[in-house]
């Protein structure tokens, strides 16, 4: 391998907005067989909106402030969507106490004398709240690529909510280009399985690994590595271990610092078209060397 062609390749990458943090990455990328991507903030904008709230009987204007109060203490993008919706409705959001976040599950707090719990279906199962009455809505939301969430008040099911996070405009083209390059495409997400599958269908993703707990992403990635050299693309704090474990870790430049520091390569913009570009650049550069 001539250092000159590597330098030229790295320089070309930089011009395109592809930053190699590891010189080795330009070489390793050529051998990639699988590209695994995080969903939220990588394939999607990472800016969800609250689209639906179906209550078990309470009025929206009485319930949404309780839910938003709990979420006002959370930093999850879903939380921001819910707080924003309450503000847009012109509702006053009370101050919660005894707030607790359960990673990959949901949040809980006391609000105006009530115990309020908000999160995924698996969180409701864990705390013993029966959500069967919302089964129809849950499937309808998930099939529309929305994430269903639940709220319980004083241990009773109170509502199902849905948030939608738009797919990035650059995602379909980037994934089609990866397929054209002969790569298998996988998605790893903590989100609901049915929602993840709806998004995967829209994007033509080959393999979906859903409902992964934050600490489970590395194991999911190791499983894929059984089939060959695997690239992982992510943006979040949760993604850092998988970025380090991957044969090539690629961070989205708009993501968290810890993701960037754990990656071999950084795509400066949130635009995904540079993902196939980076692989094509690697192949072209290494062809010149051999």
Residue in this structure with the two tokens 């995602």, named with its chain if needed: 171
Nearest distance, CB of residue 180 and ligand ADP, angstroms: 27
- Please tell me whether residue 38 binds Mg ion under the rule CB under 5 A: yes
Which CB, 38 or 71, lies closer to Mg ion?
A: 38
Shortest distance, position 20 Cβ to ligand ADP, whole Å: 27
User: DSSP string covering 54-98, please?
Assistant: EESSS-HHHHHHHHHHHHTT--SHHHHHHHHHHHHTT---PPPEE
Interface residues for ligand ADP in 158-187 (CB under 6 A)? none
Measured from the CB atom, is 195 or 282 closer to ligand ADP? 195
- Minimum distance between the CB of residue 81 and ligand ADP, rounded to whole angstroms? 9
In DSSP terms, which residues pair with 162 in a beta bridge? 52, 148
Q: In the complex with Mg ion, which residue's Cβ is closer, 76 or 179?
A: 76
Tokens matching residue 52: 């639906």
- 247 makes contact with Mg ion (CB under 5 A): no
- Strands in 106-111's sheet, in edge-to-edge order, are 49-55, 156-164, 147-153, 114-119, 106-111, 97-102
First to last CA, the chain: 7
| 191 contacts ligand ADP (rule: CB under 6 A) | yes
Cα 290 to Cα 285: distance, rounded to the nearest angstrom: 9
Q: Which of 31, 38, 247, 271 is catalytic?
A: 38
Query: One symbol per residue from 94 to 133: x for binding ligand ADP (CB under 6 A), - otherwise; what is it?
Result: ----------xxxx----------xxx-------------
- What sign does the dihedral 174-177-184-264 (CA atoms) show? negative
Helical axes 3-16 vs 274-289, angle rounded to 10°: 160
* 28 scored as a contact of ligand ADP (CB under 6 A): no
Question: Catalytic annotation on 130?
Answer: no
Instruction: Give residue 172's Cα distance to chain centre.
Output: 16
Interaction of residue 189 with ligand ADP, rule CB under 6 A: yes
Q: Crossing angle for the helix pair 193-203 and 171-180, nearest 10 degrees?
A: 70
What, of ligand ADP, Mg ion, none, does residue 235 touch, CB below 5 to 8 Å by kind?
Mg ion
In three-state form (DSSP H/G/I as H, E/B as E, the rest C), the secondary structure along 95-115 is CCEEEEEECCCEEEEEECCEE
- Residue 235 vs 271, nearer CB to ligand ADP: 235
Q: Which of residues 128-147 bind ligand ADP (CB under 6 A)?
A: 147
Contact partner at residue 43 from ligand ADP, Mg ion, none, CB < 5 to 8 Å by partner kind? none
Residues that bind ligand ADP (CB under 6 A): 39-40, 71, 74, 76, 78-79, 104-107, 118-120, 147, 149, 189-191, 214
Which residues are catalytically annotated? 38
């Amino acid at each position: 391998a001539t250092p000159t062609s590597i330098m030229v390749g790295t320089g070309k990458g930089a011009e395109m907005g592809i930053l190699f943090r590891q010189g080795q990455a330009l070489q390793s990328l050529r051998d990639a067989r699988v590209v695994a991507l995080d969903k939220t903030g990588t394939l999607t904008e990472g800016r969800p909106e609250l689209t639906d709230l179906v209550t078990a009987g309470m009025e929206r204007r009485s319930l949404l402030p309780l839910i938003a109060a709990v979420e006002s203490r959370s930093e999850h993008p879903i939380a921001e969507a819910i707080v924003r919706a309450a503000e847009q409705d012109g509702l006053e959001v009370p101050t919660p106490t005894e707030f607790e976040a359960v990673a990959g599950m949901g949040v809980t707090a006391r609000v105006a004398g009530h115990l309020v719990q908000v999160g995924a279906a698996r969180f409701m199962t864990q705390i013993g709240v029966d959500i069967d009455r919302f089964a129809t809505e849950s499937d309808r939301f998930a099939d529309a690529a929305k994430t269903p969430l639940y709220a319980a008040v004083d241990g009773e099911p109170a509502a199902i909510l849905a948030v939608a996070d738009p797919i990035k405009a650059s995602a379909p083209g980037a994934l089609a280009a990866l397929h054209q390059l002969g790569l298998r495409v996988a998605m790893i997400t903590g989100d609901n399985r049915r929602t993840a599958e709806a998004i995967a269908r829209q994007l033509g993703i080959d393999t979906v690994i859903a409902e992964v707990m934050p600490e489970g992403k590395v194991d999911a990635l190791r499983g894929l590595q059984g089939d060959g050299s695997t690239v992982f693309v992510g943006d979040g704090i949760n993604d850092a271990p998988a970025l380090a474990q991957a044969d090539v870790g690629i961070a989205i430049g708009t993501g968290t610092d810890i993701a960037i520091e754990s990656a071999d390569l950084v795509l400066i913009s949130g635009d995904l078209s540079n993902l196939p570009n980076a692989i094509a650049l690697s192949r072209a550069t290494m062809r010149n060397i051999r």
